[in-house]
Chains A and B, each alone.
Chain A
Amino acid sequence: MKVDPWILVFSAVTVVVTIWMGFRSAKSSKSASDFFVAGRSVSVGWNASAISGEYLSAASFMGIAGMVMLSGYDALWYPVCYACGYLFLLLFIAGPLRRFGAYTIPDFAEGRYDSPVFRKIAVCFVLFIGFFYTMPQMKGAGTTLAYIFKAIDLRDTAFQFLAPLDGGGVMTTGIPYWFGVAVVGAVITLNVALGGMKGITLVQAVQYWIKMFAISVPIFVLLSVYGGYGKNLSLNKSAADSTPAIIQTVDSEKPQRLALPDKAPKDEAWIAPFGPLTTKAAKAAGLTPEESKPYSLLYTFSLIIAIVCGTAGLPHILVRFYTNPDGIAAKKTTMWVMILIGVFYVFPPIFGVLGRNLLPELYAASGSKGPDKVVLELPVLIREKYGILGSILSGITCAGAFAAFMSTFSGLLVSMTSALAHDVYGRMLKPGASPRERMRMFKFAAVGVGGVSVLLGAFVEQLDINFMVGQAFAIAAASYFPLLFMSVWWRGMTMKGAATGMLTGGLCALVCVTLTSISDILAKTAKAAAEASKIPWEPDALNVFWIGHPLLRILAEQPAIWSVPLSIGLMIVVSKATRSSVPKDVRMKMLVLHAPEALGLKQEYIQEHQGGAH
Chain B
Amino acid sequence: MPHSPHDETDFIHSEHFLRGLMKRQLKLSISCAAAFLLLLFGLPLMNYFAPVLMANRVGGFTLTWLVLGVLFFPYVWIIAKWFIVRSIAMEEAEVKTAESNKRP
A574 CB-CB contact with B under 8 Å? no
Given A301-B41, A338-B76, 11 other A-B residues pairs in contact with their CB atoms under 8 A: A87-B32, A239-B52, A273-B64, A297-B44, A304-B44, A328-B88, A332-B84, A338-B77, A588-B13, A596-B95, A599-B12
A228 CB-CB contact with B under 8 Å? yes
B51–A273 touching, CB < 8 Å: yes
Q: Which residues in chain B, 58-79, are within 8 Å of chain A measured between CB atoms?
A: 58-62, 64-65, 68-70, 72-74, 76-77, 79
Q: Which residues of B contact A92 (CB under 8 A)?
A: 29, 33
Total CB contacts across the A-B interface at under 8 A: 161
Closest-by-CB residue of B relative to A255 is B60
22 A–B pairs (Cβ distance < 8 Å), ordered by A: A73-B64, A84-B72, A87-B36, A87-B80, A91-B32, A91-B33, A92-B29, A95-B87, A229-B60, A229-B61, A230-B60, A238-B55, A272-B62, A293-B48, A338-B77, A342-B77, A349-B69, A594-B22, A595-B94, A596-B94, A599-B95, A599-B98
Given the contacts A331-B87, A489-B22, A591-B18, A304 and B41 also touching, CB distance less than 8 Å? yes
Is chain B's interface secondary structure helix, strand, loop, or mixed overall? helix
A128 CB-CB contact with B under 8 Å? no
B1 CB-CB contact with A under 8 Å? yes
How far does the alpha carbon of A603 sit from the alpha carbon of B74 in the complex, in Å?
A: 39
A587–B80 touching, CB < 8 Å: no
Q: Which residues of A contact B56 (CB under 8 A)?
A: 240
Q: Which residues of A contact B58 (CB under 8 A)?
A: 230
Closest-by-CB residue of A relative to B56 is A240
Interface size class of B (residues with CB under 8 A): 35 or more
Q: Which residues of A contact B45 (CB under 8 A)?
A: 297
Is chain A's interface secondary structure helix, strand, loop, or mixed overall? helix
How far does the alpha carbon of A338 sit from the alpha carbon of B36 in the complex, in Å?
A: 14
Q: Which residues of A contact B57 (CB under 8 A)?
A: 234, 238, 240-241
A87–B55 touching, CB < 8 Å: no
B98–A489 touching, CB < 8 Å: no
How far does the alpha carbon of A87 sit from the alpha carbon of B38 in the complex, in Å?
A: 14
How far does the alpha carbon of A301 sit from the alpha carbon of B69 in the complex, in Å?
A: 17
Mark the stretch among A75-83, A149-157, A453-461 that contacts chain B: A75-83
Closest-by-CB residue of A relative to B68 is A76
How far does the alpha carbon of A332 sit from the alpha carbon of B21 in the complex, in Å?
A: 21
How far does the alpha carbon of A241 sit from the alpha carbon of B58 in the complex, in Å?
A: 12
How far does the alpha carbon of A81 sit from the alpha carbon of B17 in the complex, in Å?
A: 36
Contact flags A580-614 to B (C-beta < 8 A → 1, else 0): 00000001101100111011110110010000000
B91–A598 touching, CB < 8 Å: yes
How far does the alpha carbon of A328 sit from the alpha carbon of B17 in the complex, in Å?
A: 21
Q: Which residues in chain A, 220-256, are within 8 Å of chain B measured between CB atoms?
A: 228-234, 238-241
Nearest-CB distance from A134 to chain B (Å)?
A: 27
Contact flags A280-315 to B (C-beta < 8 A → 1, else 0): 000000000000010001001100100010000000
Q: Which residues of B contact A81 (CB under 8 A)?
A: 40
Q: Which residues of A contact B79 (CB under 8 A)?
A: 87
Top 7 nearest A-B pairs by Cβ distance?
Answer: A230-B60, A240-B55, A234-B60, A342-B73, A273-B47, A600-B1, A596-B91
A131 CB-CB contact with B under 8 Å? no
A147 CB-CB contact with B under 8 Å? no
Given the contacts A273-B44, A331-B88, A73 and B77 also touching, CB distance less than 8 Å? no
Nearest-CB distance from A223 to chain B (Å)?
A: 12
Nearest-CB distance from A169 to chain B (Å)?
A: 43
Given the contacts A80-B68, A87-B76, A240-B56, A587 and B62 also touching, CB distance less than 8 Å? no
Q: Which residues of B contact A234 (CB under 8 A)?
A: 57, 60-61
B40–A595 touching, CB < 8 Å: no
How far does the alpha carbon of A595 sit from the alpha carbon of B47 in the complex, in Å?
A: 42
A272–B55 touching, CB < 8 Å: yes
Q: Which residues of B contact A83 (CB under 8 A)?
A: 73, 76
A76–B22 touching, CB < 8 Å: no
A23 CB-CB contact with B under 8 Å? no
A345 CB-CB contact with B under 8 Å? yes
Contact flags A195-227 to B (C-beta < 8 A → 1, else 0): 000000000000000000000000000000000
A590–B22 touching, CB < 8 Å: yes
A343 CB-CB contact with B under 8 Å? yes
Of A84, A95, A272, A301, the most chain B CB neighbours within 10 A belong to: A84
How far does the alpha carbon of A90 sit from the alpha carbon of B29 in the complex, in Å?
A: 9
A274 CB-CB contact with B under 8 Å? yes
Given the contacts A308-B40, A335-B81, A599-B95, A343 and B73 also touching, CB distance less than 8 Å? yes
Nearest-CB distance from B31 to chain A (Å)?
A: 10
Nearest-CB distance from B5 to chain A (Å)?
A: 10
Q: Which residues of B contact A90 (CB under 8 A)?
A: 80, 83-84
B103 CB-CB contact with A under 8 Å? no
How far does the alpha carbon of A240 sit from the alpha carbon of B52 in the complex, in Å?
A: 6
Q: Which residues of B contact A331 (CB under 8 A)?
A: 84, 87-88
A603–B25 touching, CB < 8 Å: no
Q: Which residues of A contact B76 (CB under 8 A)?
A: 83-84, 87, 338, 342
How far does the alpha carbon of A233 sit from the alpha carbon of B61 in the complex, in Å?
A: 6
